[in-house]
């Protein structure tokens, strides 16, 4: 199982794109975490913003398609799409993710 961590500027955009990713079966689930404080360097300046983090749960087979879909539809010029391979996942949950992204 793969988790993709992606930040968005606001909750409405995060929800819209999370729903689209799940509807397209690129991910089985999207957890939305609002009010994430982000400090980053952009175009030579230090920026501080409140963003919304979405954690997508997907299968190894669908991860590349999910990443491409997210990148294509993301409003940022350079979206953060961070892939984490799960070290351990309970069998029932892993099976559910596989079934929902098949």
pLDDT tens-digit profile of 47-87?
A: 999 999 999 999 999 999 999 999 999 999 999 999 999 99
Strand order in the sheet with 2-8: 29-42, 45-58, 2-8, 81-85
The boundaries of the domain holding residue 51 are 2-100
pTM (two decimals)? 0.94
Mean pLDDT of 27-46: 97
Specify the number of domains making up the chain: 1
Picking from 98, 20, 101, 88, the residue whose alpha carbon sits closest to that of residue 6 is 20
- Domain with 16 in it: what CATH number? 3.30.70.120
pLDDT tens-digit profile of 17-29?
A: 999 999 999 999 9
What distance in Å separates the CA atoms of residue 6 and residue 80, rounded to the nearest whole number? 6
């Amino acid at each position: 199982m793969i988790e993709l961590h992606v930040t968005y500027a606001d909750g409405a955009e995060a929800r819209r794109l999370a729903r689209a990713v799940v509807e397209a079966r690129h991910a089985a689930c999207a957890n939305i975490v609002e009010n994430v404080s982000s400090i980053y360097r952009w175009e030579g300046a230090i920026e501080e913003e409140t963003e919304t983090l979405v954690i997508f749960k997907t299968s190894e087979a669908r991860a590349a398609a999910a990443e491409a879909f997210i990148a294509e539809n993301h409003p940022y010029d350079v979206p953060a799409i961070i892939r984490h391979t799960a070290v351990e996942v309970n069998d029932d949950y892993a099976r559910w993710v596989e079934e929902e992204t098949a």
